[in-house]
Amino acid sequence: MRGARRALPARPGSGIIVPALAALLLLLLTAVPVATLVMGSLQIEGRPGFTTANYEHVYSDPRTYRLLLNSFLYAVGTSILAIGLGTSLAFIVERTNVPFRRGFFAVTLVPLIVPGIVSTIAWIYLASGRIGVLNRGLMAALGLESPPFEVFSLLGMVWTEGLHLSPLVFLVMVGAMRAMDPALEEAAMTSGARPLRTLRVVTLPVLVPALAAAALIMFIRGLESFEVPALLGLPAEVPVITSEIYFALRTYPQDYGLAGALGVGLLLVSAVGVWSYGRLTRRAERFATITGKGYRPRIVELGRWRWVAFVYILVYLLVVVVLPFLVLLFVSLVPFYIPSLDMLQKLTLQHYVTVFEHPDTLRAVRNSFVLALSSATITMALTAVIAWIVVRTTLPGRRVLDLLAFLPIGIPGLVLAVAIIFELINFPIPIYGTLAILVIAYVTRYLPYGMRTSTAAMVQLHRELEEAAAVSGASWATSFRRIVVPLLWPSLVAGWIYVFVVSVRELSSSVLLVSHDSTVLSFLILDLQQSGQSNAVAALSVMLVLSLVVIVGLAQRASGRFGVKEG
Amino acid sequence: MDRRRLVMWLGIVGLLGAACGGGTVATSPTPAAATSAAASVAPTTKPGELDADTIAKAKTEGEVVLYTSLSSSDSKKIADAFAKSEKSYGIKITVNRKSSEDLVTQFMTEVKAGKILADVLETGGLDLAQPLKAGYLEAWKVPAAAGYPAELKDAGGLWHAARLGVETIAFNTTAVPAADAPKTWEDAADPKWKGKCLIESGDVEVLLGLGERKYKGDMAKVQDVLTRTMANCTPAKGHTETVDQLIAGQGAIFWGAHAHSTEQKRAAGAPVDYMQTEGVVTIDGPGLVKGAKHPNAGKVFLNWYLGDEGQKALSDLFRVPAKPGAANARLLPKTIYYTGPTLADKFSAYQDMWNKIVLKK
């Protein structure tokens, strides 16, 4: 029913102003960094004028295509693993009567807060062919000749990143499942379909927009991820685009031209992902499952499968959460790491003292918290409005907005930071060196993620409610605030948590933008790591994990009270 | 509306011009020739001390902004030591701390955008080459560094060494008895290390130091040694991460380890030690920023930092101060191959070789 699309509400006023402002803000945030990237890719440092030499250099080299292929394989593998794990987990925790399901939520999110560098190192200590404790244990127990795992390989990279990302999929899918009207499932069940068939024929197809969005986010995240390719891919000789960009920006002098040309390549590979997403969800009305009828998502009775699902979750938690956390805890408590139980006699709290005595710890924690809070809120508010424009209106240029919100994915964080410094260092309001400039960077970086979550949620929302509101004389603002936002709430919250978490971990833009007063956690971790205090980084990570579990646990209780959690 | 859009686009285009055009920004300093003739020598009352005029002006300025690549906690301790010293004359110190590359990128971007916020830029010698080349540093001979050897300062006073970074080969003492440990850089090329050697993937500076100082620019020799070394070594990322993996047993030797952090681990009881017979020594040090807001306060800091008190403060942090005689002897190798800003022009040849042989590009 494409004819059902309509332009902005009949009554102008707030109906125009807010979306127009949002669109303008989007333009301001993305245009300059993207233009900086493209212009940089068309220039050579120290030479006047424009040239296509960087592109010729990069794209005439067969190695580039190997990098692109590696990036692609790595990103696809990562998303498949993360989607499989995250979705099954979300379904079990959210929609079935598995025992103790409430308790899983906070623990499942643990990997999110662990810095990428730390979780990657944990997996080296677990699954390196030479020193991995899992390998040693299994070889001893099963009498194996050679180690069963080798983390320094493409498969090892996919494994490490895929596990690390699975909680993000879990979050997105939990949001989508909470927003799902069970009437279709009930119809299938009433018609005699068995639970598995219902799941395959009804539940999963209805979740396609959310699944596609999650797959796209994971794919992009995989493409732009850095720690795993650097720490595992380099020794394994599996170079990817991001490691190449890193070297281009770390050489002397920095090669912005090369980084730009590679960044544009990354953007094009990402575009393949967006195109596929667009194909999957092009008939948005098919997925509109949130309608005017009241409902509660139904709980699937698993019967004796209940305990199978329970064991599945336990194994997941053991592999994804418990094992890496134990390594982390061990590293944080020993003076240096050696895979030997003798180290238990050398336990020390020194690294925790180091963290507490560091002059920046408290400030960094406070700043990161404030930043993540504001970036997540601004990003989700902005992208909710933009998603509304893209999905709901027939305005010319709405696709451009979608594209603009997506472009930051191809901009290396460091390039974004350089662009922002140029743009804002002479801004009349002195925001350089403050938290505000970091908020601008984070919102820009995470627009694509916010946009995907918001769009996926928006296509699930049937337009009949807004039409009813418009007919009853409600303004755009009222209908958006009273109808759209509350119905999208679970998905917006999921996106919010996501942006919150990645903001806490953001490093590549922060390294240039933080000042003494605006230092952040990820920067503190880098500082400790670079000064050889890797065990202190583990100690800090342990504390972050524990805080996360407490905060999410509390938030869960609070949101339960406000009715979000009920299902 | 059209006019506003036009203004906005003009603004964006202008910013992009600034971002991409390099020299198009009016306020960027004019490139200075790195000549000693341009240097002004501070008239000193006593050798190694500042003149009264500079001190008086510095007091009026009241503040110095230090951009440094020292770690956060070390830079804080240096700042505290400066603040406590009588020779700071009550001048307030503000520190911006980043890793060398990030610090220089930030500094260069700020200056190109027309904003000079740093008074003193203190970072790795090779990283200092970019601002030097762009003419962003002011020539001033630090009185306290008058006795420093020639290779540790620019003849014209554009930069001085403050601390030294020792790059070496570290080894796991459980896997490698002291007698078998590498004694020279070429030892890592011995086939006995095949599959047992880790190499930091970005350490081109070590190769530069070896090539220019040890092999006197004989590129064929450098290529031969590196190729044979890489027949044994696996590239790894990050100095800290790699030394940790060395200690955990992932490798037996680590080519390009930092002596400073390896020593910290050794002191904590980790089974690790490092080659002390020879080492590549990187020069880290400060330069006075041209057009700085507080040039005299910058001079006060520099003179303190390169003098006895500043150098002792560095030594207290287990760092290797540049001032002759100030360093803990254990931390300095017997044979030293210095790198530094003067070798910057040779860097790209070594980078190319490195990319081919180590990174297999």
Produce one character per residue of A228-253: b if its CB has 16 or more CB atoms within 10 Å, e if not: bbbbbbbbbebbbbbbbbbbbbbbbb
Q: Which residues of A touch B76 (CB under 8 A)?
A: 359
Distance CA A565, CA A556 (A): 7
- Contact criterion met (CB < 8 Å) for A130 and B115: no
pLDDT band at B13 (very low <50, low <70, confident <90, very high): very low
- Contact criterion met (CB < 8 Å) for A338 and B248: yes
Rg (CA), chain B: 22
Mutate to test the interface with A, among B80, B101, B105, B317 (most CBs of A within 10 A): B105
Residue B260 pLDDT greater than 90, yes or no: no
Question: According to the per-residue pLDDT averaged within each range, which of A2-11, B40-49, B243-252 is highest?
Answer: B243-252
- Contact criterion met (CB < 8 Å) for B115 and A432: yes
Question: According to the per-residue pLDDT averaged within each range, which of A64-68, A205-209, B109-113, B276-280 is highest?
Answer: B276-280
Q: For the range B322-327, what are the long-range contacts, defined as Cβ-Cβ under 8 Å and sequence gap of 24 or more?
A: B322/B148, B322/B152, B322/B160, B322/B161, B322/B162, B322/B163, B322/B164, B322/B283, B322/B285, B323/B145, B323/B147, B323/B148, B324/B147, B324/B148, B324/B149, B327/B164
More confident: A209 or A371: A371
- State the ipTM, two decimals: 0.82
Beta bridge partner(s), residue B253: B171, B197
Question: According to the per-residue pLDDT averaged within each range, which of A222-226, A281-285, A562-566, B14-18 is highest?
Answer: A222-226
Half-sphere CA count of B319, side-chain side, radius 13 A = 28
- Cross-chain CB nearest to B236 (options A235, A358, A519): A235
CB atoms inside a 10 Å sphere around CB A390: 22
Helix (H) or strand (E) holding A78: helix A62-95
pLDDT tens column, A516-525 = 889 999 889 8
- Contact criterion met (CB < 8 Å) for A527 and B244: no
pLDDT value at position A268? 80
Mean pLDDT of B152-164: 95
- Cross-chain CB nearest to A531 (options B20, B71, B101): B71
Amino acid at A261: A
- Cross-chain CB nearest to B101 (options A43, A250, A335): A250
Among A265-274, A292-301, A477-486, B5-14, the range scoring the smallest mean pLDDT is B5-14
Mutate to test the interface with B, among A420, A530, A535 (most CBs of B within 10 A): A530
Rounded to a whole number, what is the distance in Å from the CA of A489 to chain B's nearest CA? 35
Beta bridge partner(s), residue B236: B200
Q: Which residues of A touch B114 (CB under 8 A)?
A: 425-426
Rounded to a whole number, what is the distance in Å from the CA of B18 to chain A's nearest CA? 7
Residue B232 pLDDT greater than 90, yes or no: yes
State whether residue A435 is helix, strand or coil. helix
More confident: A257 or B343: B343
- Contact criterion met (CB < 8 Å) for A131 and B249: yes
Largest CA distance in chain A: 76
Question: What's phi and psi for B272, nearest 5 deg?
Answer: -145, 145
pLDDT tens column, B62-75 = 999 999 999 888 99
- Contact criterion met (CB < 8 Å) for A338 and B271: yes
Q: Which residues of B touch A336 (CB under 8 A)?
A: 244, 247, 265, 268-270
Token pair of A558, please?
Answer: 């609070």
Residue B250 pLDDT greater than 80, yes or no: yes
Distance CA A488, CA A454 (A): 8
Q: Which residues of B touch A229 (CB under 8 A)?
A: none
pLDDT tens column, A361-397 = 999 999 999 999 999 999 999 999 999 988 888 888 7
Rounded to a whole number, what is the distance in Å from the CA of A434 to chain B's nearest CA? 13
Token pair of A39, please?
Answer: 């212009």
Confirm if A391 and A398 have CB atoms less than 8 A apart.
Answer: no
B224 CB within 8 Å of a chain A CB: no
Among A390-399, B208-217, B295-304, the range scoring the smallest mean pLDDT is A390-399
Distance CA B267, CA B278 (A): 21
Confirm if B199 and B167 have CB atoms less than 8 A apart.
Answer: no
Range 46-75 of B in CB contact (< 8 A) with A:
71-74
Mean pLDDT of B253-258: 96
CB atoms inside a 10 Å sphere around CB A200: 12
pLDDT tens column, A499-516 = 988 898 888 889 889 988
B258 CB within 8 Å of a chain A CB: yes
pLDDT value at position A252? 67
pLDDT value at position B333? 93
Mean pLDDT of B296-302: 98
pLDDT value at position B272? 97
Residue B11 pLDDT greater than 50, yes or no: no
Mean pLDDT of B153-160: 95
pLDDT tens column, A411-444 = 878 888 888 888 888 888 888 889 999 999 999 9
pLDDT tens column, A4-62 = 444 444 444 556 788 888 888 998 899 888 888 888 889 887 788 889 999 998 899 99
Average pLDDT, chain B: 87
How many helices (H) and strands (E) are present in chain B, helices listed first? 12, 14
Residue B344 pLDDT greater than 60, yes or no: yes
Residue B38 pLDDT greater than 50, yes or no: no
Range 77-106 of B in CB contact (< 8 A) with A:
94-99, 101-102, 105-106
Half-sphere CA count of A330, side-chain side, radius 13 A = 20
More confident: A492 or B311: B311
Residue B2 pLDDT greater than 80, yes or no: no
Mean pLDDT of B242-254: 96
Mean pLDDT of B331-341: 92
Confirm if A41 and A260 have CB atoms less than 8 A apart.
Answer: yes
- Contact criterion met (CB < 8 Å) for B16 and A39: yes
Residue A292 pLDDT greater than 80, yes or no: no
Residue A304 pLDDT greater than 50, yes or no: yes
State percent of chain B over pLDDT 90. Answer: 71
- Cross-chain CB nearest to B268 (options A31, A63, A335): A335
Residue B9 pLDDT greater than 80, yes or no: no
pLDDT value at position A299? 79
**Which residues fall within 8 angstroms of residue A275, CB to CB, at 6 or more apart?**
none
Rounded to a whole number, what is the distance in Å from the CA of B241 to chain A's nearest CA? 8
- Contact criterion met (CB < 8 Å) for B15 and A124: no
Mean pLDDT of A282-307: 69
Rounded to a whole number, what is the distance in Å from the CA of B107 to chain A's nearest CA? 9
- Contact criterion met (CB < 8 Å) for A252 and B344: yes
| DSSP state, residue B237 | S
Crossing angle between the packed helical segments A62-95 and A305-316, to the nearest 10 degrees: 140
- Contact criterion met (CB < 8 Å) for B244 and A121: yes
CB atoms inside a 10 Å sphere around CB A359: 17
Rounded to a whole number, what is the distance in Å from the CA of B342 to chain A's nearest CA? 14
Average pLDDT, chain A: 84
Distance CA A287, CA A458 (A): 10
CB pairs under 8 A between A and B: 157
pLDDT value at position B36? 39
Pick the closest to residue A488 from A269, A277, A209, A191 (CA basis). Answer: A209
Q: Could you tell me whether strands B253-258 and B197-200 are parallel, antiparallel, or unpaired per DSSP bridges?
A: parallel
Torsion-angle region of B138 (φ positive above 0: left; ψ -120 to 50: alpha; else: beta): beta
pLDDT value at position A284? 53
More confident: B332 or A566: B332
Residue A162 pLDDT greater than 90, yes or no: yes
More confident: A287 or B220: B220
**Which residues fall within 8 angstroms of residue B149, CB to CB, at 6 or more apart?**
B324
- Contact criterion met (CB < 8 Å) for A511 and B98: yes
- Cross-chain CB nearest to B249 (options A130, A253, A533): A130
Rounded to a whole number, what is the distance in Å from the CA of A463 to chain B's nearest CA? 32
Among A344-358, A469-483, B117-131, the range scoring the smallest mean pLDDT is A469-483
- Cross-chain CB nearest to A426 (options B114, B239, B249): B114
pLDDT value at position A290? 63
CB atoms inside a 10 Å sphere around CB A59: 16
Distance CA A70, CA A89 (A): 28
Q: Closest-CA residue in chain B for A29?
A: B12
pLDDT band at A562 (very low <50, low <70, confident <90, very high): very low
Going A252 to A258 to A264 to A270, the CA torsion angle's sign is negative
pLDDT value at position A287? 62
Mutate to test the interface with A, among B240, B318, B351, B359 (most CBs of A within 10 A): B240
pLDDT value at position A483? 85
